[in-house]
Amino acid sequence: MATRNEFFSNGIEGEPDDRGQRRYHLPLARSQGPYLGGSTLFPHLFGSRFAPQLTATMLAVGLSLAPAAPVSAAEKLVEGIAAQVGAEIVLASEVFEMSGPIEKRMRAAGAPEQEILTLRRDALERLIETKLLSNVVDRLELNADREEIDAAVEAIATENGLTIEQLLKSVTSHGLTLEEYRGKIRGEIERGKVLNAMVRSRVQVEAEDVEALFQDRFGNQPEGGEEVYIRHLVVVPEGRSATTSGQACQIVSEARAEITSGTSEFAALAQRYSDMNADRGGDLGWIHRKDLAEWMSNAVDAMKPGELSRVIEMPFGCNLLQLVDRREFEPVTFEQAAPQLQNFIFNQKTEIEYSNWLDVLRSQTYIDRKGAFGG
């Protein structure tokens, strides 16, 4: 395994490869991942410093862009040119490498050829965008240096609760070399610099926009009352775990017994059996009492934090609730929400401004899409 020093010292030569459910609950929106050269703009790249703002999501997203498996002979077709972008070219093999993993899954699912072609064209557009941004980086001398990349790597490791060595192991286990991973990070930093230089200064957030969004998101929140944190396991007849009502209730009853005896956790059993919210282990989060179905509200009335409900049979299936906690509801004030609301609006407007700027950049650059990629 490479050492910490090797991870930091690998210089990169040449160009790199390429709401809670209730509207009145914070956070307002899930954090988006970092910008990776597509048409989506990712907000956390817009601060005055770039490396520290490459958040934990960079680990997951960066690894998700690990190089595809070698392209098969059938997929290679001809080592032709997919597009010319100014004085540069994009090879067809680059397009196939980017689209390959998804294309393979689409073909296995029986996707028509037109959808495969659309996928390839989308991949080409991402590669064209990468070329365009790379040219801007070079022209404005916005290249990321080694210190910025090192700082980003350190931040990614820290925010994921990993040591550098653990991060390195995760990177290499996903098929990326150190150079490739650092290259992707460098690309993120440089794109952030371009966006700051060319886009961010044009974006303004008006006070009335923030107020309007606050009313939309929080205007219907209760003024007080109680909210509860609950978990929910439900097994429905003819669902993934049961075929009849009796079988559904039997499964829920056995799950309750396992939780009560301490042999299993609620979340694990919800993931195994529940026909709703299984991916979250049945976790419904904080819910105001007024938003609960009547049968749920009645069930939690007599429950203390940590307790389970009885098995509750309803027309749609058999249910088990766990009350995690309860507390007085405190309405979100405008002062509390305003910073996040402003950031949300800023990111939305930045996406639009970036798209417009990129359209202008395309119009000013000679771009020739070849053959089937030309539409």
Q: Where are the beta strands (DSSP E) in 53-133?
A: 81-85, 88-91
pLDDT of 223: 77
Question: How far apart, in whole angstroms, are the C-alpha atoms of residue 196 and residue 192?
Answer: 6
Q: How far is CA 289 from the centre of its chain?
A: 30
Angle (CA) 325-327-330 rounded to 5° is 140
The mean predicted confidence, pLDDT, of the chain is 79
Name 325's bridge partners: 229
Q: Note the pLDDT tens digit of each residue in 271-301.
A: 999 999 898 999 999 999 888 999 999 999 9
Q: Note the pLDDT tens digit of each residue in 136-168.
A: 999 999 999 999 999 999 999 898 888 888 888
Q: Regarding the domain delimited by 4-206+338-374, which CATH topology (the fold level of the hierarchy) does it fall under?
A: Triger factor/SurA peptide-binding fold (1.10.4030)
Q: How far is CA 263 from the centre of its chain?
A: 34
Q: Binning pLDDT at 50, 70 and 90, where does residue 79 land?
A: low
Query: Concatenated DSSP letters for 269-325?
Result: HHHHH-SSSGGGTTEEEEEEGGGS-HHHHHHHHT--TTPBPPPEEETTEEEEEEEEE
Tell me: pLDDT of 205 over 90: yes
Question: How far apart, in whole angstroms, are the C-alpha atoms of residue 12 and residue 14?
Answer: 7
Amino acid letter, 55: T
Q: Note the pLDDT tens digit of each residue in 6-64.
A: 333 332 223 333 333 333 333 332 233 322 223 222 233 223 323 333 333 334 334 43
Instruction: Assess whether the region 4-206+338-374 and the region 226-328 belong to the same CATH fold.
Output: no
Q: Binning pLDDT at 50, 70 and 90, where does residue 218 land?
A: confident
Q: Where are the domains of the chain?
A: 4-206+338-374, 226-328
DSSP three-state, residue 351: helix
Question: How far apart, in whole angstroms, are the C-alpha atoms of residue 281 and residue 51?
Answer: 34
Q: Regarding the domain delimited by 226-328, which CATH topology (the fold level of the hierarchy) does it fall under?
A: Chitinase A; domain 3 (3.10.50)
Q: CA of 324: how far to CAs of 52, 259, 263, 282, 299, in Å?
A: 35, 14, 18, 12, 13
pLDDT of 311: 95
Question: How far apart, in whole angstroms, are the C-alpha atoms of residue 125 and residue 82?
Answer: 10
